[in-house]
């Protein structure tokens, strides 16, 4: 048999603790870490093609914006969609190993949720 009991006093204390935290304090650092992981993984340069010249412009054009409960990661290079965009990525870029941004970001969601749950658990336990 499994028995679950919701302790209203404990729940009340959690809600008071969460009220003292704003969303930025709770999730902001986790969103920033996730954005950095997405940039690092999606933006990793594959092995160079002999005879090609790399300027580093694509790698330097990544940005991330973090607001409470919001993360935006993108690349401002004019040609970024050809390398990282799901509807524009060229077959040649894919063959050479360039990563798509959206699937890379989706792959980071389980880790973000795990860390967010751990953070909420820590608040629940008063850590």
The one-character DSSP state at 126 is T
Per-residue pLDDT at 1: 41
Please state the φ and ψ torsions of residue 99, each to the nearest 5 degrees: -95, 145
* Alpha helices, H only, 1-127: 8-20, 23-42, 57-60, 80-84, 91-96, 101-124
Report pLDDT digits (tens) over 66-100: 887 789 999 999 999 989 888 777 888 888 899 99
How do the domains of the chain map onto residue ranges?
Answer: 19-44+61-124
Full-model pTM:
0.78
The b/e string for 87-103 (b: 16+ C-beta within 10 A; e otherwise) is eebeeebeeeebbbbee
Report pLDDT digits (tens) over 1-34: 445 566 788 778 777 777 767 667 778 889 999 9
């Amino acid at each position: 048999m499994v028995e679950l009991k919701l302790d209203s006093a404990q729940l009340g204390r959690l809600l008071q603790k969460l009220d003292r935290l704003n969303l930025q304090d709770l999730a902001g650092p986790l969103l920033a870490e996730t954005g950095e992981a997405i940039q690092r993984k999606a933006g990793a340069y594959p092995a160079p093609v002999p005879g090609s010249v790399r300027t580093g412009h694509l790698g330097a054009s990544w940005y991330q914006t973090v607001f409470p409960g919001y993360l935006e990661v993108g690349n401002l290079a004019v040609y970024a969609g050809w390398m990282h965009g799901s509807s524009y990525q060229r077959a040649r870029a894919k063959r050479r190993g360039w990563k798509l941004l959206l699937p890379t970001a989706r792959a980071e969601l389980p880790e973000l949720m795990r860390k967010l749950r751990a953070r909420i658990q820590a608040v629940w336990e008063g850590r």
